[in-house]
Amino acid sequence: MKRSLLLPALILISLSPACGQATAPPADAEIPAETNADATAAPAGPQVGDKIGESEAEQAAKDSSVAAAAAEAMREQEEINARGVTEIGWEDLMPEGEEERLQKMYAAQMATLYSIQEGSAADTATQIGSFNTVDTYDGKKIRMPGYTVPFSYDAKAEISEFLLVPYFGACIHAPPPPPNQTIFVRTEDPILLKDLPQAVWIEGTLHAEKQTSDLADAAYIIDLTRVEKYEY
């Protein structure tokens, strides 16, 4: 048994180089290709040219949705134009230079409030501003967004008069906006008011006309013809 193991061992020793002596490959020998696993492994993370983000199907669906929304917006705008209505914003109701005057009024009001004892009866921010209006839209059919502030409800939560303001909470949780940023809305057919925090689109004929109320004074009046939910 020992002999059978001894002979192969002797042969192996005779073929091995001397201790400490390097064996150089022949000059014409082929150098083996790199076999390191790290050299052939796929690189971690995205590389230049890799597709990142949505797939083609997802991008196509997104493009289709955007196109559909644009088509719907165009259709709605055509309907608005057909009704002879001009869409405006709150800034369109303020005459030139009104914003600068308003800032000075607010600064004066804050200076007065700072001089009043906190918690006293006089420590209340009241409506400030002016009744200065823009004649451009007086008597015109307009459309604009805003929040409703009802004076009261009937048993069915229907209202025929309310204020339209540019931000939620005005006249209730916060001081009223200036009169020329407050609109008194009236309608012959009462509307159902479901949700105060929900902004609405208001359509009707705008009048540059003063209207006072316990909640706030308004520099404009709208005779309502249409109201719809404002989609964010």
What's residue 148's pLDDT? 93
Cβ-based neighbour number of residue 138 at 10 Å: 13
> Domain 85-93+131-229 carries which CATH code?
2.40.50.870
Supply the pLDDT for residue 53.
65
Distance, CA of 144 to CA of 131 (rounded, Å):
19
C-alpha pair distances (Å), 56 with each of 65, 184, 211: 14, 51, 57
Distance of CA 180 to CAs 68, 142, 231, Å? 37, 16, 25
Report field, pTM of the whole predicted structure over 0.75: no
Residue 76 pLDDT: 87
pLDDT below 70 — which residues of the chain? 1-46, 49-53, 113, 117-125, 153-154
3-state class (DSSP) for residue 76: helix
Per-residue model confidence (pLDDT) at position 120: 58
**Nearby residues of 143 by Cβ (< 8 Å), 6 or more positions away:** 80, 85, 86, 87, 88, 201, 202, 203, 226
* Residue in this structure with the two tokens 């091995």, named with its chain if needed: 16
pLDDT digits (tens, 9 = 90+) for 11-49: 444 444 444 444 455 555 555 555 554 555 556 666 776
| pLDDT in the model for residue 20 | 45
pLDDT of residue 9: 43
The continuous run of DSSP H or E covering 143 comes out as strand 141-150
Mean pLDDT of the residues in the chain:
79
